Amino acid sequence: MKIAVAKGDGIGPEIMEAVLSIFTANKISLEYEYVDMGKWVFDKGFSNGMTPEAKQTIEAHGILFKGPMETPKGKGVKSVNVTARKTWNTYANKRVFQTLHGVNTVFSKAGIIIDITVVRENIEDTYGGIEHMLTHDVALSRRFITRPGSLQVIRYAFEMAKKKNARRITCGHKANIMKITDGLFLECFYEVAKDYPELKADDIIVDDLCMKLVTRPDTFDVIVLTNLQGDIVSDLCAGLVGGLGFAPSANIGDHICIFEAVHGTAPDIAGKNIANPTALLLSGLAMLRHIGLMENAAIIENALLFTLESGVHTGDFGDKSIPPVNTTGFAEAVISNFGKQPSAGAKPILPNMTRTPTHFKLEKNPMLVSAEMSEEKIIGVDMFIESDEQPLQVAEECEQHAGQKFKLISISNRGTQVWPTGSVYTNLVNQYNARFESLHGDTLAQQDIIDLYITLSRNFKVCSFELLNMWGDKKAYSLAQGQ
C-alpha cells in the first residue's frame, strides 16, 4: 500500500525521519511517496501551499501523513493545514488525550488518569475564513453551521464512541447564545443520539466544559464540538496530558484521511536533532490502525509507553536529573523496546486486518442536502446599513422607504436594539441593522427585497442584507438583545 508523506517545515523532516525509521524497523509494509507541501512551496508561488503534483498524489492514495507546516505570515494566504482538511472534506478531527506514564502533569502526580477523545468538526464554522469590512470600522466574519455537515461529524463521533465502548459522549456548545448555529449543531447531536440508546449522551455549555476539564478531566470520555470551539478545547486537553508534543491528530473523511502533528514547526531548534517525535509517532499509530495494521501499531505503542516509563526523554519534558536523548536516540530507544510491555496502559496485540486499498475516483462534487420538512417563506429582511446618525434619525429615514409592503420593526447596533426602544448608554458604531418585515404578514418575493434595497440605497450605503426566512411556523432568525 502506498501513502503520501509530507515531511513538513522546521523540525518536520527530522521527526518524520525518526518516525519512519521506527516503522521500517517494525517491518511495516508501506511505500512512501513524498509530496511537496509547506512554507517553501508557498514561497515558490503556490498560494495553497502544495504543488499540483502533490494534490494529485494525495488524491490517488487517499492517505496523507504529514509533519508540522508553517503558513507565511502577512502574505494574504490561507493556512495549508486548514486548506488540506477542507479541500478533501476530512470532516472529523479526532484527537486522543491520554495519561502517559513518564510525562508528569499535575493530574498524573495526583493519580488522576485521563482518557479523553475530542472530535472536532473540521470544515465549517468560522474556518471558512469568509470575512469582509462592512465599513472602515466594522468587520464581519460569516459562521456557517450546516445540518449535513453536523450530522456527518456527529455520527462519526457516535460510531467511534460505540467501538471504543465509551461510557459517555458529550456535545460541547454555546447554544445558549448562538441559538440558531450552535442550536442546529445541538439539535443534530440529539437526533443522532436516538440511534445509539446504549450510549449516555449529554451536552454542556463550552465555557462550563473548559472549567470542568481543568478540575475533573477524568469525568469526560468522548466530546464532540464545532470547529472553533473544538480547536480551543482540544489544545486545552493537550495541556492536561503534557502539551502538544503528546497530542496526536487524525483528520477523517470518506475518501481521504490526514494524520499529522499539530504542534509548531519550532524553527529555533530545527536541524539540531533534539525535537520530540512523540506526537507525530502517535498520529502515525492512528494511521496504522486506520489502514488495518493493528498488530504493528500495538507493538510500537507498547514500546513507546515502555520507553516513556523508563525515563527516556527528549529535552522538552521528563526527569531533569536524567540526561535527555536526541530525536534519533529517542527513536532508537523505542525500536530497542519492541516486544516489551509497559506496566500501565498496555495495548492488546490484535492481528492485522487484511484490507484492499480502495481508491475512489469521483466524477463530480458530492452535494449534501437534507429534505425540507416544511414550507419555506420569506417574511422580511435585515438591511445592514452604514450611518453615523442617531437611531431616531436612522429610523425616520428608513421608514420613508418602507413602501406598501414593509414595516420597520427594529434597529440594532452590534446586536443590541436601539430603536424603537433602547438606552442612550449603548455605544454605537457606524453600522446599523434595520429589520423590515412584511406589512401584512404576507410571503415576500426576492424581487420585493431587491426593490427595498434599491430605494434604501438612496439614503444609505447598504453593506449587506439577510433574508428573514420561516419554515412552517418556525422563525429562522435571531432577535436583537433587548428586542
Residue 184 has a pLDDT of: 97
Residue 40 has a pLDDT of: 85
- Burial class of residue 284, CB neighbours in 10 A (0-12, 13-18, 19+): buried
* 300-310: average pLDDT: 97
Question: Residue 169 CA to chain centroid, in angstroms?
Answer: 18
Cβ neighbours, 10 Å, residue 476: 12
Residue 355 has a pLDDT of: 66
Residue 71 has a pLDDT of: 79
- Please name which of 161, 175, 150 lies closest in space to residue 116, comparing C-alpha atoms: 161
Hey, where are the domains in the chain? 1-89+258-370, 92-252, 376-475
* pLDDT(357) > 80: no
Whether domain 92-252 has CATH 3.30.1520.10: no
- What grid cell was written down for 193? 443520539
Residue 444 has a pLDDT of: 96
What tens digit of pLDDT does each residue of 155-180 get? 999 999 999 999 999 999 999 999 99
92-252 with 376-475: one CATH topology? no
397 in helix, strand or coil? helix
Helix axes 181-193, 147-163, angle to 10 degrees: 40
What tens digit of pLDDT does each residue of 106-148 get? 999 999 999 999 999 999 999 888 999 999 999 999 999 999 9
Residue 360 has a pLDDT of: 66
Question: How far apart (Å, rounded) are the C-alpha atoms in residues 238 and 470?
Answer: 42
What tens digit of pLDDT does each residue of 426-477 get? 999 999 999 999 998 889 999 999 999 999 999 999 999 999 999 998 899 9
CATH of segment(s) 1-89+258-370: 3.40.718.10
Q: How high is the mean pLDDT of the chain?
A: 94
* Contacts with 17 (C-beta within 8 Å, 6 or more apart), sequence order: 7
Residue 374's pLDDT band, with cuts at 50, 70 and 90, is confident
What tens digit of pLDDT does each residue of 57-113 get? 999 999 999 999 987 776 667 788 888 999 999 999 999 999 999 999 999 999 999
Residue 128 has a pLDDT of: 86
Gap between the terminal Cα atoms of the chain: 60
Residue 431 has a pLDDT of: 97
CA 475, 480, 482 angle in degrees (round to 5)?
120
344 vs 405 pLDDT, higher one: 405
Note if the pTM is more than 0.75: yes
Helix (H) or strand (E) holding 391: helix 391-399
The DSSP-derived string for 45-112 is T-TTSB-HHHHHHHHHHSEEEE----PPTTSS---HHHHHHHHTT--EEEEEEE--TTS--HHHHTT-
Question: Residue 165 CA to chain centroid, in angstroms?
Answer: 24
Residue 356's pLDDT band, with cuts at 50, 70 and 90, is low
Residue 338 has a pLDDT of: 97
The DSSP-derived string for 304-357 is HHHHHHTT---TTSS-TTSPP--HHHHHHHHHHTTT---SSSPPP-PPPP----
Strand partners, 117: 96, 222
Question: Residue 150 CA to chain centroid, in angstroms?
Answer: 12
Single-letter amino acid code for the residue at 32: Y
The DSSP-derived string for 176-241 is TTSTTHHHHHHHHHHHHHTT-TTS-EEEEEHHHHHHHHHH-GGG--EEEE-HHHHHHHHHHHHHHT
Residue 353 has a pLDDT of: 84
Asked whether the beta carbons of 156 and 92 are under 8 A apart, the reply is: yes
* 375-383: average pLDDT: 96
Question: How far apart (Å, rounded) are the C-alpha atoms in residues 137 and 62?
Answer: 44
Cβ neighbours, 10 Å, residue 440: 8
Residue 371's pLDDT band, with cuts at 50, 70 and 90, is confident
* 41-64: average pLDDT: 92
Q: By percentage, how much of the chain surpasses pLDDT 90? A: 85
Question: How far apart (Å, rounded) are the C-alpha atoms in residues 302 and 286?
Answer: 14
Asked whether the beta carbons of 90 and 253 are under 8 A apart, the reply is: yes
CATH of segment(s) 376-475: 3.30.70.1570
* pLDDT(410) > 70: yes
CA 30, 36, 37 angle in degrees (round to 5)?
105
